[in-house]
Amino acid sequence: MSPADTHPHDDASDAARKPSRRRFLQSAAAAAAVTAAPHARAQQPAATPALAPPPAATPMLPVKLTINGHPYELQVEARTTLLDALREYANLTGTKKGCDRGQCGACTVIVSGRRINSCLTLAVMHDGESVTTVEGLAPDGDTLAPIQRAFIEKDAFQCGYCTPGQLCSATALIAEYRNGDASAVTADVRFRPAQLSDDEIRERMSGNICRCGAYPNIVAAVKAVASGNA
């Protein structure tokens, strides 16, 4: 008897243990699909978020100012500072932007007789008011104001960047003194000092910083004008 006749079930067993070529290919394809699925998901572009509509244009507000004796009607945003309104809208660039924090005094102007830091106030808050900048201190285009002449004679400036604010502040200071306004160093606030001492001038000009350090000459210029000697 041949071996094949002796063990007829061996061929069937071998066939069961050896997968067919078709089954092998199906298994391989399934494994490849499972492996590639996460990669395929990672390659899919993310959904594009909906774009927000563009913001509406900021409305412009009319502001009427009398600047250096001339009427101006400006169209500004509500957030526009008086400093930017003067420089960017009225094209009066004599007023300087220094710290933009109200600390240096370079932007000092006179509004309705009072000196203020124009970087700390909004233009719309002064609608209808009168503003004097450094361009308006001289009575005309050819004659300098006394305080301007004194600054030149006393050499009260160097780089000149702070000078417009210094001039406006000094102009208002002298007017305040003549109106009887006291300062923190006035001995008796019920009475105007007989004259502006150096300490009075330093205190009243303390909001204006000169990076060049021309303070002694600034004090001398203010004192000369306040005493009528300029």
Q: What is the pLDDT of residues 42-97, one digit of tens each?
A: 555 566 677 777 776 788 999 999 999 999 999 999 999 999 999 999 999 999 99
Q: Domain residues of the chain, as ranges?
A: 60-136, 146-226
Please identify which residue in the block is written with the tokens 């996460």. 38
Query: What is the distance between the alpha carbons of residues 194 and 211, in angstroms, rounded to a whole number?
Result: 31
The torsion of the CA quartet 101, 103, 106, 110, rounded to 10 degrees, works out to: 90
Residue 9's pLDDT is 52
Residues pairing with 31 in the sheet? none
Fold of the CATH domain 146-226: DNA polymerase; domain 1 (1.10.150)
What does the pLDDT profile of the chain (230 residues) look like in tens digits? 444 455 545 555 555 555 566 666 666 666 655 555 555 455 555 666 777 777 767 889 999 999 999 999 999 999 999 999 999 999 999 999 999 999 999 999 999 999 999 999 999 999 999 999 999 999 877 799 999 999 999 999 999 999 999 999 999 999 999 999 989 999 888 888 888 999 999 999 999 999 999 999 999 999 999 998 77
Please identify which residue in the block is written with the tokens 């702070």. 162
Reported pTM: 0.74
Residue 32's pLDDT is 56
Fold of the CATH domain 60-136: Ubiquitin-like (UB roll) (3.10.20)
